[in-house]
Amino acid sequence: MRKFICLLLALCLMVPFAMAEEDEDELSLSDWMDMPVGQEQSADDVSAEDEAAEQLEPDGSQLITATFTGDFTIGGDSRKRTDIFNNELKKQGGDINFPLRNVRDILMADDLTLVNFEGTLTDSTYVPNNKKENQFLFSAPPEYVSILADNGIEAVALENNHVMDHGEEVYLETQQHLTDAGIVWSNAENIGEYTVKGVRIAMLSYQTFNLYDKLFTQVPLDIAEAKEKYDLVIVSFHWGAEKDYAPNANQQKMGKLAIDAGADLVVGHHSHRINPIEEYKGKYIVYSLGNFCFSGNKNPSDMSSFMFQMRWRVKDGVVTQDAWRIIPIRISSRTDYNDFTPTVLTKATSIDSLLLTLKENGRKLDNPVTEYPLEW
């Protein structure tokens, strides 16, 4: 409903809103223009039943589209004099929404977007003793939560090695800011719950550092329990080693255990590099989505990444997997430095290079995906 309201407001203000792809279920501009003059129609006037009817496919089913991205880091390090994110914000005229301007249409057109939020939302400069020697600490002012909330991000995984950069109290504060903004979050103790088109989705997230022996047992139990209550179970793992382009043996074992336990999709992050996708028992393990909006490095050696989209079909109360695709991106709108503005790749050679990386690094997987669809 929030996305419906945003679309209505944008049209009423006559702001150009070019969608990255045209969704036949969305009202077109001509549909709105055909409304009788003098007839006001707000989102509140459209009942849930009417909205659902407009979204039916020819066979009477509905499609649920979810988007998944890699590491999302905004703000900077309070210990340092220079703040590369806020410096870029000044260059962009203070437009707080600049990071997602080139992918906003995609995020607003789907039903659910889940990102790995790597950092904190706080004005606190407190640093725990066990973090004082860390090379990077990430924090952003609480109001920066609008970058997510106003640009189509409904959910975040909040289980990674930077959520505790400023201690337990700030971690709890970050959770509260997300909740207040209407953003669903998940960690090892909290299932993120999201319902769309009558389908209940559970999002579980874990970080695996030195925890595999425990998680090999615990995660399948958590998933099995969630599967009894929810229609879809999506599991996020913060795992692997930084700068690795392929998953290690523990990641592969963990991903398959998750699918065996009932997970409908597994997505991963932490390496800051794209990793191949594996198909296992008809489900998918997306080992690493790389970076997305990443203010941790002004000049990363590799700025290639991708967004992963999955579609499920809902008919007569039954949810089935329908299709998936990737959207190749560069994490910057520029090639000379990272301006924290993920941008869809259009140059064939850049796309081919990204696809080759995924395929080459998938060779050692048991069941690697060999073709990466770019369209539905």
In the numeric block, the tokens 């792809």 are attached to 21
Q: Distance from CA of residue 124 to its chain's centroid? A: 26
Report d(CA 151, CA 168) in Å as an integer: 28
More confident residue, 87 or 20: 87
Mean pLDDT, rounded, of the chain: 88
Report CA-CA distances (Å) from 51 to 27, 196, 353.
10, 12, 41
Higher pLDDT, 362 or 39: 362
Q: In this prediction, what percent of the chain has a pLDDT beyond 90? A: 78
What value does the mean pLDDT take over residues 296-318?
96
Tell whether the model's pLDDT for residue 374 goes beyond 80: yes
Provide the percentage of residues in the chain whose pLDDT is more than 70. Answer: 85
pLDDT in tens, 139-154: 999 999 999 999 999 9
In this prediction, residue 81 has a pLDDT band, given cuts at 50, 70 and 90, of: low
User: What is the model's pLDDT at position 189?
Assistant: 95
Predicted confidence band of residue 136 (pLDDT cuts 50, 70, 90): confident
**pLDDT for 54:** 55
Instruction: Answer yes or no: is pLDDT of 47 > 90.
Output: no
Residues of the chain with CATH 3.60.21: 62-361
Report the distance separating Cα 348 and Cα 356, nearest Å: 12
Q: Is 310 a residue whose pLDDT tops 50?
A: yes
To the question of domain 62-361 being in CATH 3.30.460, the answer is no
Longest CA–CA span in the chain (Å) reads 65
Q: What is the pLDDT of residue 102?
A: 98
- Whole-angstrom distance between the N-terminal and C-terminal Cα of the chain? 24
Given a cut of 80, is residue 15 above it in pLDDT?
no
> Which amino acid would we find at residue 261?
A
Question: For residue range 216-269, what is the model confidence (pLDDT) as tens digits?
Answer: 999 999 999 999 999 999 999 999 999 999 999 999 999 999 999 999 999 999
The answer on pLDDT for 301 being more than 70 is: yes
| Residue 80 DSSP label | S
**45: exposed, middle or buried (Cβ count in 10 Å: 0-12, 13-18, 19+):** exposed
For the cut 60, the answer to whether the pLDDT of residue 25 exceeds it is no
In one-letter notation, the amino acid at residue 54 is E
Residue 45 is predicted with a pLDDT of 39
Task: Say if residue 28's pLDDT is above 60.
Answer: no
CA distances from 310 to 20, 111, 155, 313 (A): 16, 10, 15, 10
- What would the pLDDT profile of 169-202 be if each residue is shown by its tens digit? 999 999 999 999 999 999 999 999 999 999 999 9
Identify the pLDDT of residue 77.
87
Q: What is the CA radius of gyration of the chain?
A: 20
Place of tokens 């997305």: 292
Locate all alpha helices (DSSP H) within 110-235, ordered by sequence: 146-149, 168-180, 212-227
Using the predicted structure, report yes or no on whether residue 26 has a pLDDT greater than 50: no
pLDDT for residue 80: 82
Does residue 300 have a pLDDT over 90?
yes
